[in-house]
Structure 1
Amino acid sequence: MSMIFQFRMLCDEDDYFLREYEVPYDMTLAAFRDFINKDLQYRPEELTSFFTADDRWNKLQEFTAMDMGATESDGELLPQAMDRTLLSQVVRKKRDRLIYQFDVLGDRAFFLELTEAMKVEPDKRYPAVTLAEGDAPDQYRAGAGSGSGSVFDDAMGDFSDFAGTDGYGDDE
């Protein structure tokens, strides 16, 4: 193990949720999924996927927990198996992005971006959680997390008094 990838992970369900992970570049996507699930205290699920993503978070290539067999059909890329795909095969440079869809049926996901590639620190253990803020969203119910919300919503909450009628009529 000579390189470590540092990822920042966000969730669109909760603006207070943030994780940073340092993981070996030669880790499989399946092992990365297991590490994330362990950190978030999620139960293992077979219906999960990773996707590579462009700079606008559009899903590109899919990597599934269950092996779908073929990798190409009529020029279209079919899902590849997580357990046979290394991070270094799908993430190559800073700012490359992955989407970890942890709830396929609910279309819920985490958004990961490679923030750094660095050398292994000999006295450090990998994979590692280097930053953990906020509670993870409930694995099975969207919006059920204790920290659900938005920094914007919290800030604007004090201004709710201004909604509705302002006490002035059109003739005043």
Structure 2
Amino acid sequence: MIYRFRIILDNDTDDDVFRDLEIQETDSLEDLHNLITQSFGFDGTEMASFYVSDDAWNQGQEISLFDLSEDASAQLMNETTINSIVYEMQTKLIYVYDFFNLWTFYVELAEIVEETNGTGYPNLIFSKGQIPDVAPEKIFEADALDDFDEFDDGIDVDDYEGLDFDENWN
């Protein structure tokens, strides 16, 4: 079977940037990684990871290009087939390329089709938009709060009146 994916750049502009790709279901996530990097014009030399995602695009389990864990426990792209992670009930992945620039893509299974005789796979079937020169800036939840202070918990350490204990207990 052939999996058709739409890969969409997480981009806060009005310009849509995406690629539609076809790949065999038994290919590895590393094969999909290589197809994505080539179709968007990256050289493929940077660190990357896929993350299993739910329908709301919440980031879940990581599948990385290289194992950088201390105990060699990371799930790796080259050891993971596409159909073991993506299927009709689990259709979404988040792909992050280049951890310094955080190029982030939404990967969604669009359909599963029969292999077409004479067609080479993997295959870029549609391209829209140009990748910007720099990765779109990410706004993290904490950065979005104007008055965010990680040390302000609302407790006055000099105010003992509201506390429910005897300060002379000893």
Q: Taking structure 2 as the reference length, what is the TM-score of the superposition? A: 0.71
- Residue 12 of structure 1 aligns with which residue? 10
Q: Hey, what's the Cα distance between the residues in 2 that align with 1:64 and 1:137?
A: 24
Structure with bigger gyration radius:
2
Question: Contact (CA 8 Å) 1:54, 1:97: kept in 2 or not?
Answer: yes
1:1-172 → structure 2 map (5 Å cutoff): 3-13=1-11, 14=13, 15-67=15-67, 68=69, 69-70=72-73, 79-93=74-88, 96-138=91-133, 141-143=134-136
Greater helix content: 1
Aligned residues: 132
Greater strand content: 1
Question: Runs in 1 of length 4+ with deviation above 6 angstroms?
Answer: none
Structure 2, gaps ≥5 residues long = 138-170
Residues 53-99 of structure 1 show CA distances to partners (whole Å, capped at 9, x for unaligned) of 001111111011112422xxxxxxxx311110010110011661011
Structure 1, gaps ≥5 residues long = 71-78, 145-172
Q: Equivalent residue of 1:101, what SS?
A: strand
Q: Taking structure 1 as the reference length, what is the TM-score of the superposition? A: 0.70
Percent identity between matched residues is 29
Residues 28-74 of structure 1 show CA distances to partners (whole Å, capped at 9, x for unaligned) of 1111111111122211234110111001111111011112422xxxx
Tell me how large the CA RMSD over aligned residues is: 1.8
